[in-house]
């Protein structure tokens, strides 16, 4: 399975902060925003990941993440200079996908909750067609909205409807089978000039090959694309980490627990972050022989 992480766009809701910097490199408490979406893919066991971003930001991402080999993964970069929608971003990866199933995550989304990793892995093994994740929100008109039947089956998906039929928003996390590219190529630009993800999902819906799991009350889903969202996410992460003493979205720790790197490789990575809180945490993992065995039942 190929992982696609969408980190393009102009970040206009965060101007002027993002005029010269990708919003996905802004800090969410103690680490860059992109760590949180990257960790989702890694926790699901995805080792080949395409980061879709603007050409002017590639050097910044390369400096931060390189080619992924230090984490035991492979990272490829794909350019999307014009904000033409999520489906356009998928098509930029057409040659890399090459008939593989795909796990797609939006770079400004944060997920946190018990047993989410287990849910992702089980869904990856069992889904057919496409699998989405829903979340109940207060203002569904700002999102893609799923309308479910009484038995939990999807009836419709609408993109930012004026009058939503439910309060279930479709989150920025998707599984797609190997028919993805063919379906994406049939999507036409909307009145907004974007190739909408809802149109792609409706293609699966018409074939009765679309499922949606509603994430429960024990799960947090945060959109960090606005100043308020950025601040709220940072405060949320700070509270959880300081209370539990464990990092959220520590990609080096995930690589270690997945068996993709060993303790010596982690030691080398820890040196990159000398004199920082994050580096001290990596060193604490080396000092704890049980750390590589510790189960992770959250994602973010």
pLDDT tens, 46-75? Answer: 999 999 999 999 999 999 999 999 999 999
Per residue in 152-195, pLDDT (tens digit) is 889 999 888 999 999 999 999 999 999 999 999 999 988 888 89
In this prediction, residue 265 has a pLDDT band, given cuts at 50, 70 and 90, of very high
pLDDT tens digits, one per residue of 98-110: 999 999 999 999 9
- pLDDT tens digits for range 253-264: 999 999 999 999
Q: Is the pLDDT of residue 297 over 50?
A: no
Among residues 222, 257, 218, 256, which one has the least CA distance to residue 238? 222
Residues 71-81: what's their mean pLDDT? 97
Q: How far is CA 206 from CA 131, 154, 182, in A?
A: 14, 10, 15
Q: What confidence tens digit (pLDDT) does each residue in 19-53 have?
A: 989 999 999 999 999 999 999 999 999 999 999 99
Task: Note the pLDDT of residue 274.
Answer: 87
Structure confidence at residue 277 (pLDDT): 94
Q: Do 226 and 13 contact (CB within 8 A), yes or no? A: yes
What's this model's pTM, rounded to 2 decimal places? 0.93
pLDDT for position 291:
56
Q: Bridge partners of 32?
A: 27
The confidence score (pLDDT) of residue 293 equals 52
> What percent of the chain has pLDDT above 90?
78
| Mean pLDDT value of segment 70-93 | 96
CATH class belonging to 2-131+171-293: alpha beta
Name the residue ranges covered by the structural domains of the chain.
2-131+171-293
What are 117-150's pLDDT values in tens digits?
Answer: 888 999 999 999 999 999 999 999 988 899 999 8
């Amino acid at each position: 399975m190929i992982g696609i992480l969408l980190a393009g766009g102009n970040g206009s809701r965060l101007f002027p902060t993002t005029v010269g910097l990708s919003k996905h490199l802004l800090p969410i408490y103690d680490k860059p925003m992109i760590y949180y979406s990257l960790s989702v893919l890694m926790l699901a066991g995805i080792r080949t990941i395409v980061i879709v971003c603007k050409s002017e930001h590639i050097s910044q991402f390369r400096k931060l993440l390189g080619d992924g080999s230090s984490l035991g993964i492979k990272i490829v970069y794909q350019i999307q200079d014009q904000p033409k929608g999520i489906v356009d971003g998928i098509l930029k990866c057409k040659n890399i996908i090459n008939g593989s199933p795909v796990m797609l995550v939006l770079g400004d989304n944060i997920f946190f909750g018990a047993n989410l990793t287990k849910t992702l892995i089980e869904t990856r093994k069992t889904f057919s067609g496409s699998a989405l994740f829903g979340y109940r929100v207060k203002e569904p008109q700002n999102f893609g909205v799923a309308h479910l039947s009484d038995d939990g089956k999807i009836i419709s998906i609408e993109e930012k409807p004026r009058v939503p039929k439910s309060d279930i928003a479709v989150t920025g996390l998707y599984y797609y089978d190997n028919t993805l590219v063919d379906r994406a190529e049939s999507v036409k630009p909307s009145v907004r000039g974007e190739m909408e993800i809802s149109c792609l999902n409706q293609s699966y819906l018409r074939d009765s090959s679309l499922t949606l799991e509603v994430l429960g009350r024990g799960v947090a889903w945060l959109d960090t694309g606005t100043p308020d969202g950025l601040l709220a996410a940072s405060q949320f992460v700070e509270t959880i980490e300081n209370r539990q003493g464990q990092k959220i979205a520590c990609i080096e720790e995930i690589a270690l627990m997945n068996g993709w790197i060993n303790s010596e490789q982690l030691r080398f990575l820890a040196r990159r972050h000398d004199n920082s809180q994050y580096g001290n945490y990596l060193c604490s993992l080396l000092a704890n022989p049980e750390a590589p065995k510790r189960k992770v039942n959250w994602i973010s």
